[in-house]
Amino acid sequence: MQATPPTTVPPRDPNLVMRLSRLGSFHQSRLSFMRILLRRLKAESWTFSRPHFQIDARGVGHAVYTAQGPERAYSLIAFANDLPPEKRSDRVIATEWDATFTLFDGIPTPADLDRLSQNVPRQEAGRVSEQELSLSRANRSVRLWDYVVDCLARGQQPDQARIDDVGYLMRTTAVYGSGKFGAADREKTAHRDEFQAPFQIEMLPAFLTRAFVMDLVEHLAALRAPETAVPLAPNLRRRFGIGNSTGLGMAPFLLNHPALLNNWIAAREEALARIHALPGARPEAAQSFRDFAARARLHATGWQSEHPIQIAKLQDLCADMDRLAEYLQSADLTGNLPWNRLWLWGKPR
């Protein structure tokens, strides 16, 4: 007796998927570059240490954060600066920043730290070496930084609503890699397992930068008022991310690498097509989907924007999530291509 071939569902039409309005609305997934990094860090039990943290009450100094993997170590070297407000700018022509960083291949020596202290804070005006894998910088949030330091110094926790309105204490204004300003070329690291996926060299310093920022804000509060200062509550600390600027450099990169962009999107679409083709789902998988859909619905209600276009889009998103929640109350997700039926139900009519 011949076996019945599995049902296949073709990927979506590229003419639909590759429209800018849709690409700009993508959300992170298991294929997102930071998600790939975080899964690896957890699966391989990477360890993290802070061998140096020498920053004074003005917020000036340096710190080193080392990530130790199964075979190699990488160190984020951070240089903190007391930047006057009038010099704080996210524009590419800026010459000073609140903090500057490099990802060092290994563990730096005192000589390395001295060399990098003369170059990393200068960013484009300085030069790094093949021992460095990335170069980046960040500025403090004008709306949150002083407020959070003041709260912690007084022994109080910052207001969650104010945190959610901004979402970060520092935001990067550039993250350079792959040979920029003397840093190591891609060829040096392409064979390493931890850097096989795209942009892992850039994601690792972003991850470590967040740890530095959290430590720095608590450190400055403690130096300001050692008798009363408290650390951030864990439930508030986890609400902070690292902000980023416009990502303008990605625009010419994507225009010049159409095959790479195609491969990224094709991987996502292939994953979705395979899900659509699943003949059924176990009851626990169906319930898990309902649970995550409820979490996503709640998460969407917390998004903030001051731009009229984005406000309208967020309202539409919340309305769509409400309709999805209503549909899931009675939908059968256990058989008859449930995920494909769900997708067909959600398509515009």
Q: Give DSSP secondary structure letters for 177-222.
A: ETTGGGPPPHHHHTTSGGGSSTTHHHHHHHHHHHHHHHHHHHHHHH
The conformation of residue 78, written as its DSSP 8-state character, comes to E
Is residue 223 classed as helix, strand or coil in its secondary structure? helix
pLDDT for 2 beyond 80:
no
Q: Rounded to whole angstroms, how far apart are CA atoms 32 and 199?
A: 10
Q: Is 86 exposed, middle or buried (0-12, 13-18, 19+ CB in 10 A)?
A: exposed
pLDDT for 1 beyond 50:
no
Q: pLDDT exceeding 70 applies to what percent of the chain?
A: 96
Q: Rounded to whole angstroms, how far apart are CA atoms 110 and 101?
A: 16
The conformation of residue 335, written as its DSSP 8-state character, comes to S
Tens digits of per-residue pLDDT, 228-248? 999 999 999 999 999 887 677
Q: Rounded to whole angstroms, how far apart are CA atoms 179 and 132?
A: 9
The DSSP secondary structure of 7-43, one letter per residue, reads: P--PPPPHHHHT-HHHHTT----TTSHHHHHHHHHHH
Query: Could you count the other beta carbons within 10 Å of the beta carbon of residue 302?
Result: 11
Residue 247: both structure tokens together: 């990502």
Average pLDDT over residues 307-332: 94
Tens digits of per-residue pLDDT, 185-194? 999 999 999 9
pLDDT of res. 7: 67
Average pLDDT over residues 306-330: 93
Q: Rounded to whole angstroms, how far apart are CA atoms 49 and 68?
A: 8
pLDDT for 43 beyond 80:
yes
Closest of 328, 346, 340 to residue 286, by C-alpha: 328
Tens digits of per-residue pLDDT, 76-112? 999 999 998 888 876 766 889 999 999 999 999 999 9
Beta strands in the chain (DSSP E): 47-55, 61-68, 73-80, 99-105, 132-140, 168-177, 241-244
Q: Rounded to whole angstroms, how far apart are CA atoms 82 and 78?
A: 13
For residue 118, report the phi and psi dihedrals to the nearest 5 degrees.
Answer: -90, -10
Name the pTM for this structure. Answer: 0.91
Q: pLDDT exceeding 90 applies to what percent of the chain?
A: 78
Average pLDDT over residues 280-307: 92
pLDDT of res. 111: 98
End-to-end CA distance of the chain: 41
Mean of the per-residue pLDDT values for the chain?
92
Q: Rounded to whole angstroms, how far apart are CA atoms 78 and 116?
A: 10
Residue 113: both structure tokens together: 């730290």
